[in-house]
Copies of this chain bind each other. A is one copy, B any other.
Amino acid sequence: MNTLLSTSWERFCQFFFYDPGLDVALDVSRTNLSEEQLQGMQEAWHKATAAMRALEGGAIANPDENRMVGHYWLRAPELAPEPAIRQEIESTVQRILAFARKIHAERHFTDVLSIGIGGSALGPMFVHDALGGPNDMMALHFFDNTDPDGMDRVLARLGERLKSTLILVISKSGGTPETFNGMIEAQNACKKAGLDFAKQAVAVTGAGSKLDQLAEKEGWLERFPMWDWVGGRTSELSAVGLLPAALQGVDIQGMLGGAAAMDRLTRAESSHQNPAGLLALAWYAATGGKGLKDMVILPYKDRLALFSRYLQQLVMESLGKKDDLSGQVVHQGIAVYGNKGSTDQHAYVQQLRDGLNNFFATFLVVEHDRQGDSIEVSPGATTGDYLSGMWQGTREALTEGGRESILITVPDVSARTLGALIALYERAVGFYGLLVNINAYHQPGVEAGKKAAAAVLKLQEEIVAALGPEPLTAEQVADRLKASDRVESVFHVCRHLAANARFGVLADGDGLQARFNRPQ
């Protein structure tokens, strides 16, 4: 595994991509990608670019769900395959801008509570943290789970301000259980505070969904559309991401513009001139096209700490697939993790330098250090110079140890740059999916998870019905339910019921010997 990386200024120049318009640079010279490999992959690359063109043209690029894949149209509506789609995209952006202007002008709402999970949370949270600051127009908060205590904590933080909180409920299908649960808890909190939920609620969902119908019936403040041709993990530049960002005060047109500019670059036919192509091909070279190495994301900027979590979804949910498009079992994927530098140099970078060579790193560097001037913290050096020295020194050391790395530099953390970064990775994931021949746009495992959870709730119902005053072990309860193959599940459900005194369930004793009953 410890092949020494070939590095030189010539190689750097050969694999260095730079766009003056976005001031974004990409360097894949410190991966095992070679000119020979690139040449050998030209056929696959051209097939991928052709498929990408077809996708942008409105092909059914998500065959398992029989759907078009249209997130690129969101920032170039003129490319949409139907005038109706173009019109919907354009009018939605305008409606979001007008809505945010109105909310800001009225000054009634101080805070935003955004209820959503997965693609309806990770992008909005990333952008919120990256661009947030003391000048935000509104403070954003999130319900991104079905953890009751987590919701209580957010509600406690809001406190009295719940009455001036705009509540967004974001769910494409309108039936995501966590989001639905969050909505019910928020409604309950409003009710307890004597507030009219509908008067402060906004829905972002597919037209005609259960959520859309509810919002219409109850007369919510506003409704914005989600479309079936936008996947959750690529929805940051739809209403899902644009609405909370606009409310926060983010320049959403700058974000769309940055994405559109990057999209233009990533349509280049030449793999050497296409930053998303270079990225995807470098991933392929690093992982053998089989995910043999983990993708470690190291943004050297506090504001970008959530980028890795955003990418975990974008990359792993897109690429982590059992079957390829021809139906072969392939178990594809690339594991993604990371936090931020230089912080991580004092944590897991020890392993990256000295331990297992089972990863390739991506250094994400922001050239501009801060607003305003810097003092020197030691002769001739600012904190920003140190940060710069840290990534350079660490990258050097990884290279010396034969560890592959990619470098991306951006000028700043602005709406435009974030749009460009999101677009770069969306396209790179798309290309990589095509190179390994999988559907990068469905998520069958997520559906399966929902079903499995529903089965547990069904079991809970049966257990509650079966429990009476007589104390029973989990084995005995399972016996009564004729479910002796599910004793362990019964055990876990009983423990959870007793820990929360649900339906009056009590536990006598603990561990495997515990006996459960309902005294009343």
Interface residues of chain A, those whose CB is within 8 Å of chain B, are 1-2, 7, 9, 12-13, 16, 18, 20, 23, 25, 117-119, 121-122, 133-134, 144-153, 156-157, 159, 176-178, 180-182, 184-185, 188, 232-233, 290-291, 294, 300-303, 309, 312-313, 316-317, 319-322, 331-337, 339-359, 367-372, 374-375, 377, 380-390, 392-394, 396-397, 409, 411, 413, 443-446, 448-457, 460-461, 464, 475, 487-489, 492-493, 495-496, 499-500, 502, 510-512
**Is there an interface contact between A388 and B145, defined as CB atoms closer than 8 Å?**
no
**Is there an interface contact between B145 and A343, defined as CB atoms closer than 8 Å?**
yes
Residues of chain B within 8 A (CB-CB) of A159 are 134
Residues of chain B within 8 A (CB-CB) of A352 are 320, 445
Residue of B nearest to A514 (CB): B18
Instruction: Report the bound CA distance from A344 to B144 in whole Å.
Output: 10
- Most chain B beta-carbon neighbours within 10 Å: one of A117, A147, A153: A147
- Most chain B beta-carbon neighbours within 10 Å: one of A342, A351, A499: A351
Instruction: Report the bound CA distance from A390 to B464 in whole Å.
Output: 18
**Is there an interface contact between B356 and A291, defined as CB atoms closer than 8 Å?**
yes
Name the distance in Å between A16's Cβ and chain B's nearest Cβ.
6
Name the distance in Å between A362's Cβ and chain B's nearest Cβ.
15
Looking at the complex, which one of B23, B182, B301 makes contact with A149 (CB distance below 8 Å)? B301
Instruction: Report the bound CA distance from A13 to B510 in whole Å.
Output: 13
**Is there an interface contact between A119 and B346, defined as CB atoms closer than 8 Å?**
yes
Question: Number of copies of this chain in the oligomer?
Answer: 2
**Is there an interface contact between B117 and A351, defined as CB atoms closer than 8 Å?**
no
With A348-B336, A375-B188, A510-B20 already in contact, the answer to whether A302 and B454 are too (CB < 8 A) is no
Residues of chain B within 8 A (CB-CB) of A313 are 346-348
**Sample of 5 further A-B pairs with CB below 8 A, known A389-B453, A393-B449:** A148-B374, A178-B346, A185-B377, A320-B353, A394-B452
Name the distance in Å between A485's Cβ and chain B's nearest Cβ.
8
Residue of B nearest to A333 (CB): B355
Residue of B nearest to A396 (CB): B452
Looking at the complex, which one of B232, B392, B493 makes contact with A392 (CB distance below 8 Å)? B493
Name the distance in Å between A228's Cβ and chain B's nearest Cβ.
17
Residues of chain B within 8 A (CB-CB) of A380 are 457, 460-461, 464
**Is there an interface contact between B448 and A389, defined as CB atoms closer than 8 Å?**
no
**Is there an interface contact between B345 and A383, defined as CB atoms closer than 8 Å?**
no
Residue of B nearest to A18 (CB): B511
**Is there an interface contact between B456 and A388, defined as CB atoms closer than 8 Å?**
yes
9 contacts between A and B (CB under 8 A): A134-B156, A144-B343, A145-B340, A153-B303, A176-B346, A178-B346, A333-B351, A393-B455, A397-B452
**Is there an interface contact between A356 and B460, defined as CB atoms closer than 8 Å?**
no
Residues of chain B within 8 A (CB-CB) of A377 are 180-181, 184-185
Name the distance in Å between A414's Cβ and chain B's nearest Cβ.
12
Residues of chain B within 8 A (CB-CB) of A331 are 1-2, 354-357
**Is there an interface contact between B475 and A9, defined as CB atoms closer than 8 Å?**
yes
